Structure 1
Amino acid sequence: MTLIDTIRQALQSPGKSQRGLARAMGLDPAAVNRMLKGERQIKAHELTAIREYLGLPPAEDLPAPTIPRSPGASPGQTEPPGLPGWRQPPAFAEEFAMVPVYDARASAGPGAINTDAEPVCFSAFRWEWLRRVTQAPPDQLAVIQVAGDSMEPTLHHGDHVLIDRTVTRWTRDGLYVIRYAISDELMVKRLLWIPSSRTFSIRSDNPAYGNTDGVGPDDLSVVGRVLWLGRNIG
């Protein structure tokens, strides 16, 4: 029996419900529903709340949590395809956050980060590092791919960037994924605020590309702030 099976069984007890479990965990019912389908990771502090609400035994006596169901897996499947029987170590959820990777490109034409679609995979980031750069929950983060060379040498074509989607407005000068109203493109650019004109300057790090100055706050929307980049070598 898996941990999810144990939780489902305990929810059948009188006075217990998914809505009550959601309140105890500090989550919305939809997130708990995804968790019970094996599509959402159970964090260490959430397991404590689950145990207390459902009256489950100590964590060491429970089945180890499994990773979220991979895209393409059958309903209820929590094992990565091709790795039957694989179980993440008990300490995995305490050490790593699983961040969704979406099939979206910045600077690659019209489009949006469609978080209603299934992620193509998940990337593991250490909680210790993640909490130094953001307080956003993993499902409000996203990894997407960069297209084009307008941000070289900082970002190269094919790089992956981690973005914080809770940042939906400019907070300080830096790299952001934005949508510019004129082109309606999803772009990763350096965004600078010009106090004297109360406008933004959208900058490309590659000098071969021009900058766009005098952009009013209503002419762009911030999709997220870039926190990290990943690059293949060779």
Structure 2
Amino acid sequence: MSKIDSKWFYEKLEQQGASLRDMARFMSLDPSAISRMLKGERNMSAEEQDQIAAFLDVRLEEVASHRRGEPAGLGEKQQEVYLHDPGLTVSNPGVKMFTEADIIYKDGKRWMEGPDGELLELHPAYGSMKGTITIPDDLDLTAPADPDWGKVYEDD
């Protein structure tokens, strides 16, 4: 039915020194319902997700990511953390940027030359959005669109 990271949930129960029955009692559910949920045979509702986070004493985001069966983010996937290189800017990209002038038309297809000189075919969608948006010169894209956006009450 649904993919769930069962191992993580059982490890958290063990760390808490709790059982499936304890969790079921806390959630006012039948232990078989919890068992089926943690095996992926039954979907976990949003309310159940909240209760599990409270019972396991973990962040809601953690439960949400493991209920999908795949943790989100770089740390959970043990990838290197992104380190911004302040020397790498638009004015100093460090590598040659690919432009329209670099497109090679051959055999009715569009190609670009890779760093090693090999021709790489461009995806058919490349350039399909060109000219679909025009930003006026006097438009400040960093300014808030509406200063009152999200305002819930009037200032008196």
Q: How does the TM-score come out when normalised to structure 2?
A: 0.37
Which structure shows the bigger proportion of residues in helix conformation? 2
Which structure shows the bigger proportion of residues in strand conformation? 1
> Relative CO higher for 1 or 2, CA cutoff 8 Å, sep ≥ 6?
2
Q: How does the TM-score come out when normalised to structure 1?
A: 0.26
- Kindly name which structure, 1 or 2, has the bigger radius of gyration based on alpha carbons: 2
